[in-house]
Amino acid sequence: MLPPPSYMVPPAANKVPLIEDLTPTARPKISPAPCSYTKPVCECCRSELSFTVGTHLIPHPAKVHTGGEDAFFVSISKGGVLAIADGVSGWAERGVNPALFSRELMANASNLVMNEEVNCNPQMLLMKAHAATSSTGSATAIVAMLEKNGVLNIANVGDCGLRIFRKGLLIFTTSPQEHYFNCPYQLSSEKAGQTYHDAMEGGTDEVRASGGMESRVGEEEEERTKLQMGEEQTARQRRVNEANDVCSVKLLEGDTIVMGSDGFFDNVFDHEIVAIISQFKDAADDAKRLADLANTHSTDVNFDSPYSLEARSRGFDVPLWRKVLGQKLTGGKPDDITVIVGHVHELHTGYLEESEAVTADLSPLF
């Protein structure tokens, strides 16, 4: 019998605030889990290819005491599953704990991995997990499921991301889904929000500058801008992308999968990822080093991050008088940071015996 999935779902990052009317929804009682976690998960034992997984989460500097609003889980079931959800912090302004939705969404997904209808389809897994989530809130989410033949199926809603590296080169990256700059698609408890149908084929083999817009622009000014754009946001949220395909990638032995929340990819360049995964061969070490690097960059006001590059390309920059002095918008983006690293290798006999090592010393969810 396969062991239960290993998952991490901490409680209460900088996210887009919701501009919509809220309706009361029952909220489950969820116990807090450790706010930083590194766990090597043993080799998956049900596919021709498998991966060794390492994970690490660092909460937003202001939310260390609550653990942040990211949630994730990894599982060896059905060949292997990786998933991250990033709770939308704007719900806090409405008196709602933004972590509840993302945590319950991931808990439901972990419980539905073995469902026959899911059958290695991450879009179906998101659909069922979303339908089973009763908490008020919303979250961006990404799920990747490994088939027995080595094909990795990926579904993404919003601005979490996944990269695949082969022999030191980036061969695949997801693209963010957004209504407009810094307003990503979200799975929501509200009818105006997105649904699992928004889990679309967003893959590209081109290097992309990722980003958001919450760093060094001025949080108060940014919030006023978002409120002014609320009517437009609500209208766009009502347009649901209908039934897009799940993206699939054929993996090879030696590939490295790097999955992360936007707090990671907004602060780390792809060449920095390559430098770390090429130097260190342990998935858990890779995940921790990558998360630590993102955390360092996120609070560096002089670092010209992927985030600040994207902001400038979208028209956000320092005032004109500062431009005259040769200055420009720079800095990382403080946020919850979640990283999952998977090292792909061929399946060998004996991994079934090692599978019992998969455990998670975490607080109970409910």
Q: What is the mean pLDDT of each run of 10 residues along the chain (366 residues)?
A: 42 38 33 38 56 95 93 86 94 93 96 91 93 94 92 94 96 90 86 53 36 34 40 34 62 96 97 94 95 96 91 82 80 95 77 32 34
**Alpha-carbon span 191 to 6, nearest angstrom:** 31
Q: Is the dihedral of CA 125, 131, 132, 136 positive or negative?
A: positive
Q: How big is the chain by its Cα radius of gyration, in Å?
A: 19
Enclosing H/E stretch for 309: helix 306-313
User: Of 163, 177, 184, 175, whose CA–CA distance to 203 is shortest?
Assistant: 175
Q: Which residues contact 131 (CB under 8 A, 6 or more apart)?
A: none
What is the bridge-based pairing of β-strands 178-180 and 70-75?
A: unpaired
Pick the closest to residue 227 from 14, 20, 22, 13 (CA basis): 20
In whole angstroms, give the CA distance from residue 314 to residue 181: 7
- Work out the angle at residue 266's Cα, subtended by the Cα atoms of residues 262 and 267, and round it to the nearest 5 degrees: 125
Question: What pLDDT, on the 0 to 100 scale, is given for residue 102?
Answer: 97
pTM: 0.73
Answer positive or negative: Cα dihedral of 132, 5, 50, 53. Answer: positive
Alpha-carbon gap, residue 47 to 255, rounded angstroms: 15
End-to-end CA distance of the chain: 24
Of 352, 309, 355, 314, residue with least CA distance to 333: 309
CB 137 within 8 A of CB 91: yes
The pLDDT of residue 124: 93
**Region label for 274, one of left (φ > 0), alpha (ψ between -120 and 50) or beta (otherwise):** alpha
Strand partners, 204: 173
181 class by beta-carbon count within 10 Å (0-12 exposed, 13-18 middle, 19+ buried) = middle
Token pair for 53: 């997984």
Q: Looking at residue 2, what DSSP letter applies? A: P
Angstrom distance (rounded) from CA 241 to CA 317: 31
Largest CA distance in the chain: 67
Contacts of 28 (CB under 8 A, 6+ apart): 100, 104, 134, 135, 366
Candidates 209, 140, 152, 130; CA nearest to 175 is: 209
Q: Which CATH number fits domain 49-189+234-299+333-346: 3.90.550.10, 3.90.1560.10, 3.60.40.10, 3.90.1150.10?
A: 3.60.40.10
Using a 10 angstrom Cβ sphere, with 0-12 exposed, 13-18 middle and 19 or more buried, the burial of residue 207 is exposed
State the pairing for strand pair 6-8/49-58: unpaired
pLDDT of 241:
35
Classify 216 as helix, strand or coil: coil
